[in-house]
Amino acid sequence: MSAPLSPQVARLIGGETTVAGKIRALAAAGYPRAEIARILGKRYQHVRNVLEEPGKTKTAAQPEPEGLAEGDAGAFVHDRPKTYRLEVKNGTVTLPPEVLAALGVGPNGAIIADLGEDSFTLISTHEAIRQLQEWARPDVRPGVSMVDKLLAERRRDVEMEERESRDRRAWRPHDD
């Protein structure tokens, strides 16, 4: 093997004792042949020959590699090992367990999502609160209560609305 394996790849091929078994396990998890060759440090032709060998390919009837369950999305492997390829089925995206764990959320928890121009970023609620606090920080001064500040601001708004209402009544045209 040429490079250190990512934890996902190590889990997928951990129980395999032969190179052919490792090739088949990675192929069953959705890895392209060229990527399998790179991961295992083998020639592309070797990977192709193993996968094209009649009667030897891993079928859906065999158990999935540990860490993958039906509906889970496999890792999208390239230079960024923490990037995932997620499939949408009937409008639903299933997040891998390690992503949920990294965000500190359980299967029925909440995650904050930020839709960018060409991206969709998931952040934990803890991180969202931290960002909101940082955004509000310029308005926070030691010894000044944000509640008192907001109440004073609202009182000024109400006074201004009442003043404008009185002015409108005072400027009504007179009936002659």
Domain that holds residue 5: 1-68
Q: What's the pLDDT at 158?
A: 94
63: in domain: yes
Digitized pLDDT (tens) for each residue of the chain, 176 residues in all: 455 778 888 888 887 888 888 888 888 888 888 888 888 889 988 888 888 876 554 444 444 444 444 444 444 444 556 777 888 888 888 888 888 888 888 767 888 888 888 888 888 888 888 888 887 776 667 777 878 888 999 999 999 999 988 888 877 666 55
Q: What's the pLDDT at 128?
A: 84
Q: What's the pLDDT at 155?
A: 94
Q: What's the pLDDT at 154?
A: 92
Q: What's the pLDDT at 81?
A: 63
119: in domain: no
The one-letter amino acid code at 6 reads S
75: in domain: no
Q: What's the pLDDT at 114?
A: 85
Q: What's the pLDDT at 16?
A: 83
Strand 92-93 relative to strand 88-89: parallel, antiparallel, unpaired? Answer: antiparallel
Our count of domains for the chain comes to 1
4: in domain: yes
Residue 27: HSE in the Cβ half-sphere, 13 Å Cα cutoff: 21
95: in domain: no
- Position of tokens 């007179």? 174
Cβ burial 61-79 (10 Å sphere, 16+ → b, else e): eeebbebbeeebbbbebee
Q: What's the pLDDT at 122?
A: 87
111: in domain: no
Q: What's the pLDDT at 73?
A: 44
76: in domain: no
7: in domain: yes
Q: What's the pLDDT at 148?
A: 84
Q: What's the pLDDT at 78?
A: 44
